[in-house]
Structure 1
Amino acid sequence: MNFKKWLAEERLRTHKTSKEEIQGLLEIAKRDLNDASLQDLSTDRRFLIAYEGALTLATIPLYCAGYETYGRGHHWLTFRILPDVMGEEYSDLAEYFDQCRTKRNVGTYDRGGQISESEVDELLSEVKSFQEDVMDWLKRNHTNLI
């Protein structure tokens, strides 16, 4: 874990979470997954919303560990830290979410129409599965926050 390094670089700060905050984040992720499923939205927008759900869910374990990301690159760092907090078995998923971050940036800032329906479906599936994993992790490690 490079927490000390990132704290020293001011890319990470200590954070005290609460049951209310975790519940709020879970509700935001649930809303994002519902909204990302709306077929009337463009695939770019649905991908962005699903990605935001992944980021919100990845923030929960970080908060539970007593940290929050800060400043430039905070999305990248949130996913980078995920395996350190939840376990190395989340390394591939963290890498996938980071790849989605790059696609999301292209669709948001550079040019639209780059996201396919299958990419949205894949991301939605991964985020829904991750949502279940985060809930299970909370039940095992932080029952006081759910």
Structure 2
Amino acid sequence: MQWKPNTTVAAIIERDGRFLMVREHTPHGVRLNQPAGHLEYGETLPAAVAREALEETGYPATATALVGIYLADKEDSADITYLRFAFACDAAAEPDDRQLDAGIIEAVWLSADEIRAQQASWRSPLVGRCVDDYLAGQRLPLSVLHHHGH
């Protein structure tokens, strides 16, 4: 059997020194994460991150740069690995009036220090790593991504 990691996307949305984050119900309790989720069949990575940001926060968003690509094992499973593409995104000034994805408690704007102070509730260690890489100025142009397919 061929092993395949779960491909996910995450939106790093910063405004005035604060990051748009979500609090969500998980099997391990309430966790803090960037707006993030799985790549769907036929989607481009930038389209996937825009969709996930909208579904989880209500904010229409657009990817502007690739912050990083991260490979991480799921902490409570020996056979699940995530391949995360984190994107810097611009978002609309206000959220749409929509029902957020199931499991999402709220979208919240937090400073980097506030995010770091809640490390015990991060969905994964990638939450902090993505913020740190963003703050370090790590950016790749979207032109490094190529989608050939449907």
Task: Calculate the TM-score normalised by the size of structure 2.
Answer: 0.26
Richer in helix (by share)? 1
Give the structure with the higher percent strand: 2
**TM-score normalized by the length of structure 1:** 0.27
